[in-house]
Structure 1
Amino acid sequence: MKDDFDYDDDLAFNDDEDEDEDDFGMTFEEDLYLMIREKLRDTIQEYKGEYPALKKLESAVSSFKVNVKNTDDAKFYPLAAKLLSEHIKPLTQDSEEIQEIYDNMQSDITRFKNQRAHGYEGELYLTA
Structure 2
Amino acid sequence: MDARSTVREYYDALRTGDPLAPYFAEEHDGDDAFVKFGISERLTGSEQIQTGLRAQTETTAEWTVASHALRVCERGTHAWFSDSVSMEWTSTESGDRHEFDTRWSGTLTESSNRWQFVGIHVSTADEL
Report if TM-score (shorter chain) is over 0.5.
Answer: no
Larger helix proportion of the pair: 1
Bigger-Rg structure (1/2): 1
TM-score for both structures, normalised by structure 1:
0.28
Higher strand share: 2
